[in-house]
Each structure stands twice: as C-alpha cells, then as structure tokens.
C-alpha cells in the first residue's frame, strides 16, 4: 500500500470516529423487489427531481422540506433511490450522461439528508458541516458513497476535499471507475448544499448538459459578483476561495470570473484596470435554503 493510501486510510478512520459516520446506514437502504427494478435509474431520478422541485421549491429557490417530508412524492422518491443499490454507474456511456446523473444524484441526496438527518437551521450546524456531508450517504452498486465522495471524488476527478489536501479515493478504490474526466469546472455552479449561498437546484439532462451548465455558470456569476467602485474591488463567492486550485489559482479565478461576466461595461473597466482591481470573498451564508 502506498504512503498516500495509508494517509487516506488514517484520515477516513479519524473522521469516521469523530462523527460516527460508519454507524449510520445509507439513506436509500431498503429491500428491493426484483420485479420493481428500474431499467434506467438515471432517467427516473431526473424526472423525480424535476417533480420534487416543481412541487416543493418556490421562485426564490427555497425548499419546503416540511411539506416534502410528509408527501407521497417523498415516499416514491425513496422507492426509486433504493434501486441505486443494484445500479452500476459504469453503464453510463457518455461523459454528459455521467455528469447529469451525478449532479442530479448529489442534489437529491442533499435534499434527502436534510430531512433524514433532521437538520434544523443549517447543514453546518454540527462540526462545521463535516458530519452532514459524510453522513449524507447512498448505497450505489453496493458501495457506500457520501456527498463528499460524490463531489470531491467523482465530480471533481478525485481531487479530494480542499481542506484535507489528499485525494478522496485510494488508488485501489473501485469507485475510481466512476470518476469523471476531464474535470468540469462548471459543476461548482450546479451543486446545491442546501444553503442560501449555494447555486440554485436544477434537474440536468445528458442531452442538454452543456447548455445547462453554461447557463448555471453565467447566472451565478452575474448575480454573485459585486463591484465596489470606490474601493476598486470585486467581491465574489467563497466557492472561488475554497476551490481556487480548480480554476488555476488566484489569477485563474480572476480570468474565469472576467470570462463569464455579462456586464460588458464593467468587464471593459475591469480588464483595463486589472492590475489595480482587488478581490475579496463574501462570507458564505450556510442558513438552510428552506423551512423544516
């Protein structure tokens, strides 16, 4: 076993002991009837997400978790997620299909975990969120995957949690077969962690994923970036601070933000005065994106 694998083992053991992650059963654990197995779980889950958003999300992107929890739609949703225990994501052929599936699954898992883990005010209310994102888990093809595994292992090409400085998966982990490569920067603007500062939730499809990600990115940047003229400063999301490495460092972050600004007048000024422009990061609002 390599030294890096040993380090990952130690990290996982310490964190699981700290938060008791291994004592919590996967949220989609239930018996599966052979006759009820779904031929295309990726499609069914996308439709289920669309239905949940249409019925329980308002125009401001706030989720009515209280109503969702007691609804027949939530019961049906759990029946559908149970099928993932026997679904092999390796059957998804194209990169677009993989992106749509894992983005949708992450967002659905987070919604489910808010209810199942009894979150009251914020996903960060215990241990700065570490417990929530590791205890939010589904069984996929017989493997336990947490929200962290999906985000930092699969969607971020096994770059690992930005605060732990090591890959998410060991080099001999079967789940590496599901990692999406090359890395797609725009996933950062498609994942919703049930907090007010997160990008809004949408249902993504393999057929339209590129256009949907492009829209998600531009909408987020156009609404999030603030220009304070008297300070010659732009204020941007802390997402760019935590994941600066995904954008090529500070200069890469600036280039990325500039490239996706819709305000051409502001963009022209920023580019002309690039050496003078200061960058600051907004505090992240971890308040729950809805009512429970």
DSSP annotation of 188: G
**CA atoms of 209 and 212, how far apart (whole Å):** 5
Please state the rounded mean pLDDT for residues 35-60.
Answer: 86
Does pLDDT of 231 surpass 60?
A: yes
Which of 53-57, 265-269, 283-287 is least confident? 265-269
Angle between helices 209-224 and 95-116 (to 10 degrees): 60
DSSP 87-99: --GGG--SHHHHH
Please state the rounded mean pLDDT for residues 160-170.
Answer: 91
Which of 24-38, 51-65, 162-176, 267-281 is least confident? 24-38
**Residue 101: per-residue pLDDT:** 97
**Residue 126: per-residue pLDDT:** 78
**CA atoms of 236 and 80, how far apart (whole Å):** 38
**Residue 9: per-residue pLDDT:** 86
Instruction: Report CA Rg, the chain.
Output: 20
Please state the rounded mean pLDDT for residues 168-191.
Answer: 96
CA atoms within 13 A on the CB side of 292: 17
**Residue 23: per-residue pLDDT:** 60
DSSP annotation of 126: T
**Residue 32: per-residue pLDDT:** 65
For the chain, the structural domain boundaries read: 3-196, 225-283
Rama region for 32: left / alpha / beta (φ>0; ψ in -120 to 50; rest): beta
Task: Share the mean pLDDT of the chain.
Answer: 91
The tens digit of pLDDT for each residue in 92-151 reads 999 999 999 999 999 999 999 999 999 999 999 877 778 899 999 999 999 999 999 999
pTM of the model: 0.94
**Residue 245: per-residue pLDDT:** 95
Please state the rounded mean pLDDT for residues 169-177.
Answer: 95
**Token representation of residue 103:** 């983005």
CB atoms under 10 Å from CB of 127, counted, come to 13
The tens digit of pLDDT for each residue in 261-282 reads 988 888 888 888 888 889 999 9
**CA atoms of 236 and 151, how far apart (whole Å):** 21
Residues sharing a CB contact under 8 Å with residue 230, sequence separation 6 or more, in sequence order: none
Angle between helices 41-56 and 95-116 (to 10 degrees): 50
């Amino acid at each position: 076993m390599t030294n890096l694998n040993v380090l990952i083992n130690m990290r996982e053991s310490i964190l699981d002991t700290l938060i008791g992650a291994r004592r919590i059963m996967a949220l989609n654990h239930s018996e599966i009837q052979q006759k009820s197995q779904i031929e295309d779980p990726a499609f069914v889950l996308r439709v289920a997400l669309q239905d949940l958003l249409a019925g329980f999300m308002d125009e401001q992107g706030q989720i009515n978790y209280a109503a969702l929890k007691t609804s027949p739609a939530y019961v049906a949703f759990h029946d559908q997620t149970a099928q993932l225990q026997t679904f092999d994501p390796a059957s998804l052929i194209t990169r677009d299909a993989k992106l749509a599936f894992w983005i949708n699954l992450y967002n659905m898992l987070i919604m489910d975990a808010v209810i199942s883990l009894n979150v009251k005010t914020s996903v960060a209310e215990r241990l700065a969120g570490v417990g929530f994102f590791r205890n939010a888990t589904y069984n996929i093809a017989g493997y336990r995957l947490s929200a962290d595994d999906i985000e930092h292992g699969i969607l971020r090409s096994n770059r690992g949690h930005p605060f732990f400085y090591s890959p998410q998966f060991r080099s001999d982990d079967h789940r590496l077969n599901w990692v999406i490569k090359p890395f797609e920067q725009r996933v950062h603007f498609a994942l919703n962690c049930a907090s007010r500062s997160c990008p809004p939730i949408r249902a993504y499809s393999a057929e339209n994923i590129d256009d949907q990600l492009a829209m998600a990115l531009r909408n987020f940047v156009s609404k999030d970036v603030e220009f304070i003229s008297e300070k010659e400063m732009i204020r941007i999301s802390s997402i760019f601070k935590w994941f600066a490495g995904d954008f090529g460092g500070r200069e890469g972050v600036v280039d990325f933000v500039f490239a996706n600004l819709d305000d051409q007048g502001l963009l022209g000024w920023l580019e002309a005065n690039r050496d003078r422009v200061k960058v600051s990061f907004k505090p992240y609002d971890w308040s729950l994106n809805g009512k429970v």
